[in-house]
Structure 1
């Protein structure tokens, strides 16, 4: 399974790219647009094909979720530590973020999945992951209740390492949005994943 995070800052033809990637098989799209007003967030979501609304995940503006028809919310690590998810535990599918496998292993089954990052040095956030990455920690996973999604620095060259290390899914960010051909980047990885799955199930 493959997910995509939005860029925090606007990118040319952003909504068109998201819709095209959804058409090509994207599983989930995470909206990280903390700076938007309520009106701007509603407009951003409305630009995404309604057929994919149930595959959209909000990182903020949770109070708009019902109005926008969104069923998935992502709780940031700092908010999870303050139990802010308790107000949204009914009616929503929840995900969160962690930065060590030790914390991942403590997560309860209220979380559908968690981002574990950075598995590699970040593409979009310069300097993040330069001194420490978590790829080598994945073999210490012992939490059977929560899916593990690798995030951080994942691209066409290294994504297979994340699955091999034990991740259930990957999330893309800089590899897509920093590329002049974002759809092609997604297609390359997605087709390769499906080819491997098909081969492995023969």
Structure 2
């Protein structure tokens, strides 16, 4: 499965690209737009075809989720450690982020999946992951109750390594949004990966 994260900065024709990718089978799209006001977030989500709401995951503005018809919420590692997710455990599918395999192995089944990053040096955040990456730690995975999603530096050349190392899915960011042909990048990788969305 491929998960795409929103670009941190606005991209020209962003909503059109998102709709095109969802139409082409993108299973899940993560909206990571912490800086938006409530009104801006509403407008951003409403720019995406309403038929795809079940594939949207928001990293913020959780109080708007029900009104927007969003069923999936993502909690940053620091928010998870502060148990901020506990108020949303009923009625939502939850995901989170970790940065070590030990943290991943300690997650309980309330989490559908977790991003483990960085598996490679980041494309979008220059310098992030240069000193340490998590790819070689994947064989140490012992938690099979939560799906592991590799994130960080994944592109058309290396995505297969992440899946071969034991990740259940991959998350893309810079490889898509920093490319002049984002749809083509997704389609190139997607041809080789099952796109179904688990209901777990």
TM-score with structure 1 length normalisation?
Answer: 0.95
Deviation at 1:81, TM superposition (A): 0.5
Alpha-carbon distance in 2 for matches of 1:87, 1:9: 29
**Which residue of 2 is the match for residue 175 of structure 1?**
175
**Which residue of 2 is the match for residue 69 of structure 1?**
69
Q: RMSD between aligned alpha carbons?
A: 0.9
Deviation at 1:192, TM superposition (A): 2.4
Is 2:5–2:171's contact at 8 Å kept on the other side of the alignment? yes
1:9 pairs with 2:9: yes
Alpha-carbon distance in 2 for matches of 1:51, 1:2: 19
1:85-108 CA-partner distances (Å, limit 9, x unpaired): 011111000000000000000000
Deviation at 1:193, TM superposition (A): 2.4
Alpha-carbon distance in 1 for matches of 2:9, 2:128: 18
Alpha-carbon distance in 2 for matches of 1:153, 1:17: 21
Higher relative contact order (CA 8 A, sep 6+): 2
Deviation at 1:150, TM superposition (A): 0.3
Q: Which runs of 5+ in 1 are unaligned?
A: 198-202
1:24-48 CA-partner distances (Å, limit 9, x unpaired): 1101000000000000000000010
Deviation at 1:8, TM superposition (A): 1.3
Q: Give secondary structure in 2 for the equivalent of 1:97.
A: strand
TM alignment of 1:103-118, pairs within 5 A: 103-118=103-118
Number of positions where the alignment pairs a residue of Structure 1 with one of Structure 2:
195
Runs of 4+ in 1 over 3 A off after TM superposition: none
**Which residue of 1 is the match for residue 102 of structure 2?**
102
**Which residue of 2 is the match for residue 126 of structure 1?**
126
Alpha-carbon distance in 2 for matches of 1:96, 1:26: 19
1:49-94 CA-partner distances (Å, limit 9, x unpaired): 1111010000000000000000000000000010000111110000
1:45 pairs with 2:45: yes
